[in-house]
Amino acid sequence: MESLKKRTILVVNDELLIRQTIHLLLELENHHVLEASCGIEAVTLLSENHVDLVISDVRIPRGDGLFLLQELKKLQSRPIPPLVFMTGFADIDEYSIAAMGAAGLIRKPFIMDSLLDVIRSLLSSSAA
């Protein structure tokens, strides 16, 4: 499948190995990748950069996924990027995620091709 145009994607996860793996995968798809290990760091990156998509663990330190989603909604001067949550916890379901306003849910451990399919779909649907 042909890669979409280069986009900026923010990956938020407190696990370095997961961040690095997703970072490499997205760079291979020709995207620019920003990384944050906590909610506060993610908000700073969002305020300083144009971001096309956010992929975040639900449970992260210093501002969880819900905090991050609320902060995204405050970006009134520009389009709000879609946010996809990742989780390894069974008590979080797609309906809860949708009710919060997130664009999707990826279960950990994730399959690389499934993650890319979600990303491609969201980026193509948000393309102007």
User: What's the mean pLDDT in 44-65?
Assistant: 89
pLDDT tier, 3 (very low <50, low <70, confident <90, very high otherwise): very low
Mean pLDDT is lowest, of 31-40, 48-57, 77-86, for 77-86
What's the CATH number of domain 8-125, 1.10.357.10, 3.40.50.2300, 3.30.70.1150, 1.10.10.10?
A: 3.40.50.2300
- Residue 16 carries which side chain, given as an amino acid letter? L
Name the residue type at position 125.
S
Q: Which residue has the higher pLDDT, 119 or 108?
A: 119
Mean pLDDT of 4-8: 81
Domain ranges of the chain: 8-125
CA distance 46 to 81: 10
Length of the chain in terms of residues written: 128
**Token pair listed for 48:** 């300083």
pTM (2 d.p.)? 0.84
Q: What is the 8-class DSSP label of residue 14?
A: S
**Phi/psi of residue 11, nearest 5 degrees:** -110, 120
Question: Helix, strand, or coil here: 86?
Answer: strand
pLDDT-derived band at 37 (thresholds 50, 70, 90) equals very high
CA distance 120 to 42: 22
In the predicted structure, residue 18 carries a pLDDT above the cut 50: yes
Q: Give the span between the Cα atoms of 96 and 92, in whole angstroms.
A: 7
**pLDDT score for 80:** 83
Q: How many other CB atoms are there within 10 angstroms of residue 77's CB atom?
A: 5
In the structure, what pLDDT confidence band is assigned to residue 22 with cuts at 50, 70 and 90? very high
Conformational region of residue 63, where left means phi above 0, alpha means psi within -120 to 50, and beta covers everything else: left
Taking only the tens place, the pLDDT of each residue in 56-115 is 998 888 888 788 888 888 875 677 889 898 877 666 666 566 556 678 778 878 888 888
